[in-house]
Amino acid sequence: MKSTGLYLSRASAIAMAIGVAIPALAQDQQTGAPTNSAATTAAAPLSDGASQQPGDIVVTALRRSESVLKVPAAISVLSGNDLKTVGVNTVNDIQNLVAGVNIGSGAFGTNVSIRGVTSTDQTSKGELGIAFNIDGAFVGRGQEEGVAFFDLERVEVLKGPQGTLYGRSSTGGAINIITKKPVLGEAGGYAKVEYGNYNAKRAEGAVNVPLGSMFAARFAGSFNDRDGYLKPVDTSVTGSPLANNGAGPSNARLSANGLPAKNDQKDATGRASLLFKPSDNITATVIATVGHIGGDGNGTVTADALDHGDPFHIVPNPVPSYVRENFQNFNEQLNWKFGNMQLDLLGNEQHFKDNSQNTTNGNPFDTGTPTAAGSFALDQYHGVFNTNQFEARISNVNPGFFEYVAGANYYHEKINESDHNWIAPLSSTGGLSDTSEWINSIDPVNTTEHKSYGIFGQVTLHPLEKIAIIGGLRYTHDESTRTGTFAVGGVPGCTYPNNCIGSVNNGFEKDHKITYKAGINFQATPRDLFYASVSTGFKAGGFNDFDPRTGTTAPYGPESLTAYEIGYKGRPLEKLTITADAYYYDYSKDQINGLTLFPTPAGIVGVLFTQLAPVKIYGVEGEAHYQLDRSTMLNVSLAYEHSKIVRLQTGYLGYLTGAFADFSGYALPNTPHFVANLSATHSIDLGNGAELRLRAASKISSSYFLTDYANAVRYKQGSFTRSDASVTYVAAGDRYTIQIFVENIENKLQRTSGPGGYNGTYGGFTGGQATPEVPGSAFPENSVAYGVSTPRYFGVRLGVKF
C-alpha cells in the first residue's frame, strides 16, 4: 500500500537500492546505541573458540541495549558472525540450534512454532503466532519470512508472550533479525563463497564505505542457488479397490521425464544502508532491500517412502510448480538522545509480490470414493502485499531508580490476491488432460486489510539495591476486513488460469485488548540474576469463510494466553554461563484450524474453519556454556515440554454425521517432549596467528506428532538425531578462512509440515498412525505426504576480509 507520509525520506532509500541485489529487511529500531559486532551465541555453540562468554552479548530485545544476562526473560541469541559457520541460511535453520523452536514450510511460506504456540491459519486473513521482526519492523506473512540470512549482527529468539513491548502476533514469542549497520570512519568488508552437493552455489558479501565525518554507507548482497533434493521418479499408482463401484481399482503409470527436483533454493537479495550521525546524540539510518525468491517450489514425501522406501524420490506430478516472489523494503530510523531521554522513531514500508504455483506429490487416486477418476491438485496463487508501519518510543538513557520505555505504533497491511485451487484430471495415458477440463474447487478473489495500533509502557523500579520490580501495559486495537468473492465447487465457464468469481464473501472482525507484564528481579550478585514474571499475549481474531452454525461468513475471537515464568541467569563460575527457565501457560483460547463442509451445487466442499480451544502448556529449559580452556568451548541446551488440549471436538465429517473426533487430552502438534542441543568447539594454534577450528554438534529430539485436525488423524515423527561437523582454517587476523563442513550427517528427513492427502475411513484418529498404506486396503498407496527437513549437505566455504 502507498506511503501515508509517516516516513522519513523514501526517495533517499530508493536511490540507495539502485544497482544492489540481496535479503533481510531493515534495521534495528530499538536504540541508537552501538551493539557488539563480535557477539557470539547464547543458544548455539561458539564457532571461533574465542574466550568471549554469552554474557558479553549486548541485545535490544526489551527495547534498550543491555547484556543478555541482565534480560529477565527467556532469550537465545545467534551471532551473525557464526550463522554461516553453523549452517544457518534461512529462518528454517534456527530450529536446528535453538531448543523449543520448530519451523515448517508450506504453500503460504514459513510457519514458526515456539513452545507449541504457532499459527494454524497462514492465509491472508490469519495472523502469525510468533512475531517476526527485521530491524524492528514486523513482517506479517509467512511468504515474506523466507528471505536469506546474510550480513547480520545477530538473531534474537524470545520465548513466551511479548504482549507489552511487541503487541500483536507475539502470543508465543518473537524472532528479531538485526542487520549490520554502517560504521563511521571504517573502510572494509568481506566476501564469502560456498560450494556443496546438490550443485549448491552460495555467495554473500558486504562493504562499508566512510563518507566523511558524519556519513557512512554499507552495501551487502547474497546469492543462493541449489538444486532440489526431492527427485520425481516413474511411479505406478493404484486407487482404492472400492473404486468403479467395486469393480476394481484404477491405475496409471506416472512419468517423471523432464520434471525438476523440488525443494531447491534460488534467491538473490541486495541491501543498501546509509548512516547519518552528526553528533553522539543523533543517529539516523535508512535501509533499502530488494530481492527475488524463485525455484521449483516445495515438494512432499509420501509416508510409504519415508517409512519403507527412498525418501528422496517422490511421486511425479506433471503440473508445473514454481515460485516467483519479488520484494522491496524500506526502513527509516531516527535515534535522538537529549538529556536523560532518548527518542526512537521507526518508519517501514514493505512491498511483496507472489506469483507462484504449488503442486502436490501424491497418488492422484487418493479420493477414497467409488470413482475411477484420478486427478492432481494444485494451488495457483497471485498476491500483492503492501505494508506500512510506524513506531515512536521514548525511554531513559541512564539507569537509575526509575527506568521506563513508552511508545505507540501503527500497522497497516493490504493484500490483493486470488488463490486458485484447481483439480487437474488425469488423462487415459497417465498424463494431464487439457487445461479446459481442469476444475476449480476453491477460489477466493479479494482484498484483505489488517489495521492495528497500540499504546504501551513498561517501567522498572529499583526499591532496593538488588531488587527490581517490572510492570508493563499495552492497549492494542486490531481490525481485519475482507472484501471480495469466494468460489467453491467449480464455476461454469471458468478455466485455468483465470479468476473464478463466486458469491460475495466479505468479512470483518474488530478486537481490542489490554495485555500486561508484571515481574520481580533479584540480582543476588553482580553475576547472578533470578527473576519471576506473569505476562499475557495477544493475537487478533478473524472470520471463517463459512460457519455451519450461521450458514455464512462469521467471526471468531482473539487468542488469550497467560504465562507464568521463573528463571535464573548467571556465571556461577568464571568460565561457566548458565541460564534456566520454567514456565506454565494458561492458553485459554488457542485458535485451531480444521475444515467444515460447504454445500455447493457441484457437491460438498471442505473449507478452512477456525475455532477456539483451551490448552495447557508447561516446561523447563536450560543452557550451559563452559569455556574449558582458552581453545575449547562446550555448549548444552535442554528443553522439556508438555502440552495438552483441554477440550476440542473437530473433524469435517462431524458436520455430516454429528460424530466429531475428540482431541481432548492430546498434545499439540510439533511439540516434542524433550530436545537437546550439544556442541563442542576447539581451536588449534598453528603459529604465526593462524588457527585450525574444529566443531561438532548434534540435535537430539524425542518424537512428536503432526496433526490433521480436518481429517482427525495424527501422524508420528519418531525420535531422531541431526549432527553437524566442520573444520576451518583461519589465517592470521581472520583475513581469510577455508572451511570444510557437513550438515545432517545422518542424512535423515524429518516430517516438518502436513500431512496432506488423507482420505481414508473417518475415525482414523487413534493417537497414532492413520489407516495403513497397504495394497488391497480402502486407502491407496502413496497418498499421505509431508513437508520434510533438509538432507545431508556438505561442501567447502571460503571467506576473505578486507
CA distance 668 to 129: 14
pLDDT of residue 373: 67
- Reduced to 3 states (helix: H, G, I; strand: E, B; else coil), residue 586 is strand
For residue 724, give the H/E element and its range: strand 720-730
Provide the strand spans (E) within 315-360: 325-338, 341-359
Contact, 624 vs 649, CB < 8 A?
no
Grid coordinates representing 123 are 492465509
Contact, 231 vs 253, CB < 8 A?
no
Task: Tell me if 689 is assigned to some domain.
Answer: no
Task: Tell me if 321 is assigned to some domain.
Answer: yes
| CA 674 and chain centroid, separation | 21
Q: Beta 231-232 vs 313-314: how paired, if at all?
A: parallel
pLDDT of residue 311: 92
pLDDT of residue 394: 95
Contact, 422 vs 440, CB < 8 A?
yes
For residue 306, give the H/E element and its range: helix 303-308
Closest of 93, 106, 189 to residue 142, by C-alpha: 106
CA distance 141 to 146: 10
pTM above 0.95, yes or no: no
> Between vectors from CA 281 to CA 275 and to CA 285, what angle results, nearest 5°?
20
Contact, 87 vs 724, CB < 8 A?
yes
Each residue's pLDDT tens digit, 579-618: 999 999 999 999 998 888 777 766 677 788 899 999 999 9
For residue 401, give the CATH number of its domain: 2.40.170.20
List Cα–Cα distances, 583 to 519, 532, 586, 703, in angstroms: 13, 10, 10, 21
Task: Tell me if 157 is assigned to some domain.
Answer: yes
CA distance 451 to 411: 6
Closest of 38, 271, 37 to residue 149, by C-alpha: 271
CA distance 579 to 569: 4
Task: Tell me if 784 is assigned to some domain.
Answer: no
Task: Tell me if 22 is assigned to some domain.
Answer: yes
Number of structural domains in the chain: 1
R_g of the chain computed on alpha carbons: 26
- φ, ψ of residue 670 to 5 degrees: the values are 60, 35
Handedness of CA 293, 295, 296, 299 (dihedral sign): negative
pLDDT of residue 53: 53
Task: Tell me if 210 is assigned to some domain.
Answer: yes
For residue 657, give the H/E element and its range: helix 654-657
* Direct distance between the N- and C-terminal alpha carbons of the chain, in angstroms, rounded to an integer: 40
Closest of 245, 244, 201, 247 to residue 222, by C-alpha: 201
pLDDT of residue 743: 95
Task: Tell me if 671 is assigned to some domain.
Answer: no
Burial label, 258 (beta-carbon count in 10 A; 0-12, 13-18, 19+)? exposed
Burial label, 246 (beta-carbon count in 10 A; 0-12, 13-18, 19+)? exposed
Each residue's pLDDT tens digit, 269-280: 999 999 999 999
Provide the strand spans (E) within 465-502: 467-488
pLDDT of residue 551: 78
Contact, 315 vs 377, CB < 8 A?
no
Grid coordinates representing 359 are 503442486
The DSSP code for 557 is P
- Reduced to 3 states (helix: H, G, I; strand: E, B; else coil), residue 499 is coil
| CA 683 and chain centroid, separation | 33
* Cell 468479512, residue located: 507
CA distance 772 to 764: 10
- Ranges of residues in the chain with a pLDDT under 70 are 1-56, 61, 106-107, 240-249, 366-373, 428-430, 601-603, 757-780
pLDDT of residue 445: 94
Structural domain for 68, as ranges: 10-624
Contact, 617 vs 656, CB < 8 A?
no
Task: Tell me if 644 is assigned to some domain.
Answer: no
